Amino acid sequence: MSVKSLSLRAAGTVAGVALASGVLLSSGPAQAATASIGAGRVQLCAQGNYAAYLVFNTAAQDQQGVATATVAKGSCQIFDIVNYGGGRQTGISAIGRYNTSSDTFYVGGLNVDPTGGGWKLLAQGTTGNAGKDSKLVIEAAPRT
């Protein structure tokens, strides 16, 4: 399945900050993490048994998706959030890569203000069950 079709499929599941997999938000350390990441940026940590990358699009999924570099399992990388302008939110989809092929699977996603404080996203779990044993956790989000 291509990234573009995954990104379009994600449109139905990406709604606000709610994630089907659950959300972890903490105050003190989370606020410190968002400050170190910086406004308009997102950090992806591939903490599962797979590598992962992000795809940015408008919340309405009406633009060509922009993919980031792949983050190797066990590591983290910070990316600038694509700002599509016009006060629109940016959709962020986390995509996992299987370990034994070039195929990919949808991990989770959310819509964010592209100019807001930094985000820290954790791609966790395993590639088991066709990627359904993976999950996306928000460790840090901007204060509201």
Question: Which tokens sit at 106?
Answer: 């949808």
Give the pLDDT score at 43. Answer: 97
Quote the CA–CA distance of 10 and 107 in Å, as a whole number.
9
CA dihedral 44, 113, 22, 62 (to 10 degrees): -90
Quote the CA–CA distance of 128 and 83 in Å, as a whole number.
34
CATH architecture for residues 3-140:
Sandwich (2.60)
Q: Taking Cα atoms as reference points, which of 71, 60, 40 lies closest to residue 136?
A: 71
Give the pLDDT score at 8. Answer: 34
For the chain, which residues make up each domain, given as ranges?
3-140
Whether the full predicted model's pTM is greater than 0.75, yes or no, is yes
Quote the CA–CA distance of 116 and 9 in Å, as a whole number.
25
Q: How many CB atoms lie within 10 A of CB 18?
A: 11
pLDDT in tens, the chain (144 residues): 333 333 333 333 333 333 333 334 434 455 566 668 999 999 999 999 999 999 999 999 888 899 999 999 999 999 999 999 999 999 999 999 999 999 999 999 999 999 988 999 999 999 999 999 999 999 877 765
- CB neighbours of 111 closer than 8 A, spacing ≥ 6? 14, 15, 16, 17, 59, 89, 90, 91, 92
Q: How many CA atoms lie within 13 A of 9 on its CB side?
A: 13
